[in-house]
């Protein structure tokens, strides 16, 4: 079964197909509406064969659908029918959850996605728990999201930002009794060394997460994951 994996980020939309190590991508941002997104994906996948789709969405997902409009994209996502638009079986989850799933190596893992914003997920013995740690007060008047996001990196510089990432991991790992912290997202590559008990992830782990959404669903507990198919009048939680 060929799986098309789509990771909708705050700066780029990334697209992979099963067995292909390289992704294609196009710009996202605050002008990206679902219609522009669909046109961009269709342009990039022209001529590709796939049987099913996995999507990482930059916001809350409930019962297999976006539950709120993402702050870094244009409007219209809550009402958009992904399954009908693509015309094939489709699964969708929060983008940080999908990257975390692709990074998971067992046990208790805390995932911090360092991108346009900060995405956070906890996985314990296969159960995926979406988090919203970015709202927590962290350094002075800054929240965790403000300190560790791309804006925090640009504002404070690589050295100070790296220290903030290490401090966040140091504080949060014992709070969750995590065995390890995975530092993923597009800016993880900017860390010159890994803090203690941390592992480096990458955007490519979103691809592995998208594959695992289908292949590992029998022994992993997905949050609000629904199988969507355009021919189904009523979706049933998977």
Average pLDDT of the chain to the nearest whole number: 89
Residue 224 within a domain: no
Residues 47 and 82 occupy one common structural domain? yes
Residue 230 clears pLDDT 50, i.e. is over it? no
pLDDT tens digits, residue range 108-167? 999 999 998 999 999 998 899 999 999 999 988 999 999 999 999 999 999 999 999 999
| Number of separate domains in the chain | 2
Q: Model's pTM, two decimal places?
A: 0.87
Residues 115 and 196 occupy one common structural domain? yes
Q: Which domain range does residue 127 map to?
A: 106-202
Q: What is the CATH number of the domain that holds 17?
A: 3.30.420.40
In sequence order, what are the residues at sequence separation of 6 or more whose Cβ sits closer than 8 angstroms to the Cβ of residue 149? 114, 115, 116, 117, 118, 134
pLDDT value of position 238: 34
Q: How confident is the model at residue 234 (pLDDT cuts 50, 70, 90)?
A: very low
> H/E element holding 175?
helix 158-175
* Nearest-angstrom CA–CA distance, 177 and 78: 34
Residues 138 and 93 occupy one common structural domain? no
Residue 13 within a domain: yes
pLDDT value of position 44: 92
| Cβ proximity of 88 and 53 under 8 Å | yes
Residues 17 and 74 occupy one common structural domain? yes
Residue 226 clears pLDDT 90, i.e. is over it? no
Residue 221 within a domain: no
Residue 114 within a domain: yes
Residue 172 within a domain: yes
């Amino acid at each position: 079964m060929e799986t098309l994996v789509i990771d909708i980020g705050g700066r780029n939309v990334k697209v992979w197909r099963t067995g292909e190590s390289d992704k294609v991508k196009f710009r996202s941002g605050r002008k990206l509406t679902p219609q522009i997104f669909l046109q961009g994906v269709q342009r990039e996948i022209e001529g590709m064969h796939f049987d099913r789709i996995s999507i990482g969405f930059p916001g809350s997902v409930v019962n297999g659908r976006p539950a709120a409009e993402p702050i870094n994209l244009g409007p219209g996502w809550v009402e958009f029918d992904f399954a009908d638009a693509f015309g094939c079986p489709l699964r969708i989850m929060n983008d940080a959850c999908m990257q975390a799933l692709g990074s998971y190596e067992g046990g208790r893992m805390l995932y911090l996605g360092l991108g346009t914003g900060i995405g956070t997920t906890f996985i314990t013995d296969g159960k995926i728990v979406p988090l919203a740690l970015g709202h927590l007060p962290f350094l002075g008047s800054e929240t965790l999201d403000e300190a560790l996001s791309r804006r925090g990196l640009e504002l404070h510089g690589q050295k100070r930002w790296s220290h903030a990432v290490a401090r966040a991991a140091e504080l949060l790992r014992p709070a969750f009794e995590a065995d390890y912290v995975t530092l993923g997202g597009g800016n993880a590559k900017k860390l010159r060394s890994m803090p203690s008990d941390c592992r480096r992830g990458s955007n490519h782990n979103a691809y592995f997460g998208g594959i695992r959404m289908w292949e590992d669903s029998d022994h992993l507990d997905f949050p609000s994951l629904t199988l969507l198919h355009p021919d189904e009048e009523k979706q049933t939680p998977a």
